[in-house]
Amino acid sequence: MKEVYDAHTIAFLTKISKRLAEEYIDIQAHSTIIPSRKNELDTLLIKTVNPI
C-alpha cells in the first residue's frame, strides 16, 4: 500500500519547508533502496500497522 501525497501536505505534516519536501520527493524518485534497508523499513511498517 503506497499512498501519494503532494509536497505541501508532506511539508505540513512533517513541519519542514515545501521546498525541502520537494527535494526529498525528487531524491526518492531517482534512487533505489538497498535490500537490507528495505527489509528493515518493511518490518517497522508491519509493527506500526499491526502492533503486537
Instruction: Give a yes or no: residue 1 inside a domain.
Output: no
CA–CA separation, 19 vs 39, rounded Å?
A: 29
Instruction: Give a yes or no: residue 2 inside a domain.
Output: no
Per-residue pLDDT, 14: 94
User: Which residue has 505540513 as its cell numbers?
Assistant: 12
| Number of structural domains the chain divides into | 1
Instruction: Give a yes or no: residue 16 inside a domain.
Output: yes
Per-residue pLDDT, 5: 87
The range of the structural domain enclosing residue 28 comes to 7-49
Residue 21, burial from CB neighbour count under 10 angstroms (0-12, 13-18, 19+): buried
Instruction: Give a yes or no: residue 24 inside a domain.
Output: yes
Residue 50 DSSP symbol: S
pLDDT in tens, 1-52: 567 889 999 999 999 999 999 999 999 899 998 999 999 988 888 877 776 6
